[in-house]
Amino acid sequence: MEINPIYIDQLGRRVAIPFPPRRIISLVPSQTELLYHIGADVAGITKFCVHPDEWFRTKPRIGGTKQLHIDKIRALQPDLIIANKEENEPEQVKALMEEFPVWVSDIHNLRDAMEMIRWLGVITGHSPEAVDLVIQIMAGFRGLPALAPIKAAYFIWKDPWMVAGGDTFINEMMKACGLENIFGDKPRYPVITPDQLQGTDCRLILLSSEPYPFKDKHIAALQVIFPQAKVLLVDGEMYSWYGSRLLEAPAYFREIMAAFR
């Protein structure tokens, strides 16, 4: 009788996964891109897994990150499903765990992201590629200049206004590019009012490209409300994708620093 190796996911769960897994389904866009980067393959992805374009155009899609089509997943007969604690609905992931091996990531900071990358390399049989990726990412972040922090807010949604709080990966990326999150004392993604922001000494407002698609028109609107702060559109993938996209983040953060300072 074949016994599958046991791996510990980032929730501390023991997961038996065949080595190497042959039919992987990724429920997380940033981890889909990571699997491609290290040379692994997938049998299915979500409709939000837009990178790489080659997979987005050709791989079967199994719904959205929070609205999975369980029947489509079941039809693909996966031997590994890769999920995330925050990005996927817990009840759907729990249902999948009853039928398939599910490895769940839980990313709060850069260290968690590097651990996830290394483990997915081990699990998929691409450990050398994953380790090399971690080395490159960490070198890029170590090369960022240490600057006096600028007080900033990172908006992710409109109607209602929502921002990134302190216990998020976005908050960690803000720190990396020399920003102090003025809502760092609030959990997750709080709803705020314009009055709450006007009562602070915020100097920089970042409008993310995702999940809400902020545009130039929103810059003008917010600049009227907060004339004391500079408002910038930023690439949300650079602040919230915790896979191989992190290779590009340090150079992007340098651009943000240069645009403001």
Query: Tens digit of pLDDT per residue, the chain (261 long)?
Result: 468 999 999 999 999 999 999 999 999 999 999 999 999 999 999 999 999 999 999 999 999 999 999 999 999 999 999 999 999 999 999 999 999 999 999 999 999 999 999 999 999 999 999 999 999 999 999 999 888 899 999 999 999 999 999 999 999 999 998 999 999 999 999 999 888 887 788 999 999 999 999 998 899 888 888 888 899 999 999 999 999 999 999 999 998 888 776
Tell me the sheet residues that pair with 7: 15
Tell me the Cα Rg of the chain. 19
pLDDT score for 169? 97
Would you tell me how many other CB atoms lie within 10 Å of the CB of residue 223?
14
Q: How far apart are CA 233 and CA 213, in angstroms?
A: 10
**What is the distance in angstroms between the CA of the first residue and the CA of the last residue of the chain?**
63
Name 14's Cβ contacts closer than 8 Å, sequence gap at least 6. 6, 7, 8
pLDDT score for 261? 64
Report the predicted TM-score, pTM, of the whole model to 2 decimal places.
0.94
Q: How far apart are CA 236 and CA 97, in angstroms?
A: 30
Q: Is 185 exposed, middle or buried (0-12, 13-18, 19+ CB in 10 A)?
A: exposed
C-beta pairs of 92-98 under 8 Å, 24+ apart in sequence: 92/66, 92/68, 93/27, 95/70, 96/68, 96/70
Question: By the 8 A CB rule, do 35 and 54 touch?
Answer: no
* DSSP β-ladder status, 102-105 and 150-157: unpaired
Taking Cα atoms as reference points, which of 88, 242, 222 lies closest to residue 154?
222
Q: Which two tokens stand for residue 11?
A: 């929730």
